[in-house]
Amino acid sequence: MMEGGGVVDHIARNGIQVAYGASGRVVDNEVTGHAYTGGEDTGSGILVVGGSFYGVGRALCLGLIIQGNEVTGNDVGINLAQGEGAGFNAPSEPTRIQVLDNVLRNGALTNRSVYQAGIYDSGTGNLISRNRVSGDGYDPAAHPGEAFAVDVKTVGAERQVAFATPARAVDVGTCSEALVVQGRDVAGNLAPLVDPKVELSASVGGASFHLRSDCSDAAVASVDLAGAQREAVFYVRAAASGVLTVTATGDGESTTQDLTVR
């Protein structure tokens, strides 16, 4: 466990920091108590920094995997704070950091800046999915404009639908692993759709879509993107072997993914 001492006013501590071109995995850690009340700063549980905003020649961190961590009581749970230029612009190249299946909690709003977030992402093209964010300190309904569950810097107003999970393989008649769809902006950043409803279709007859992991529920034809990450999880059962193409359509935009049925 990495313990930051709780709420303090004399130093903005950070827990795990990955910086200036470093690569690797931040997996299965417990990080708690990095919280600051002394001024215009925040403490982060897991912090990623890079880019020319921090100085000439400061490299971006690319392709990190941040997964399965329990991150509690921090001003910002996971802070992807990479930027370029004096204006802290979003990185010009995709950084493709994966933030997956983390648990983030904060029970109170304590930062005086005032800013708290379960996940902050200054982009570009990072994958944020299936993280569980909870607590009053990350609740935008309780603290509008001060607390955020997931806060992503987006680009433009155009939106697209994307799969957040890789292509799957499944046996005939069984339930697939989870498939996840999200809304994204044109740069691949997590972004809400105007209409959260996403229609699902299959290229082969006899396939069905389900919301339960054992496919024991009634089949569905659409899912709603919900929660802090504006995503939906569903499962597929196919009746025949071969390649099954799943199409997801939302806001007039479609994306596809092939499912190999054995």
pLDDT tens digits, one per residue of 30-58: 999 999 998 889 999 999 999 999 999 99
CA-CA distance, 166 to 90, in Å (whole number)? 25
220 pLDDT band (50/70/90 cuts)?
Answer: very high
Domains of the chain: 2-152 (no CATH), 159-261 (2.60.40.10)
Would you say residue 207 has pLDDT above 90?
yes
Would you say residue 223 has pLDDT above 90?
yes
pLDDT tens digits, one per residue of 52-109: 999 999 999 999 999 999 999 999 999 999 999 999 999 999 999 999 999 999 999 9
Both tokens of residue 54? 């921090």
Name the burial class of residue 57, with classes exposed (0-12), middle (13-18) and buried (19+) by CB atoms within 10 angstroms of its CB.
Answer: exposed
Would you say residue 119 has pLDDT above 90?
yes
Nearest to 171 by CA among 107, 260, 43: 260
pLDDT of residue 190: 96
pLDDT of residue 113: 84
- Structural contact between residues 119 and 69, judged by C-beta atoms closer than 8 angstroms: no
Would you say residue 189 has pLDDT above 90?
yes
Ordered DSSP codes for 208-259: EEESSTT--SPPBSEEE-BTTTTEEEEEEE-SSSEEEEEEEEETTEEEEEEE
pLDDT of residue 144: 96
- According to DSSP, residue 189 is labeled -
In the predicted model, what is the mean pLDDT of the chain?
96
Mean pLDDT of 190-206: 95
- Structural contact between residues 70 and 31, judged by C-beta atoms closer than 8 angstroms: yes
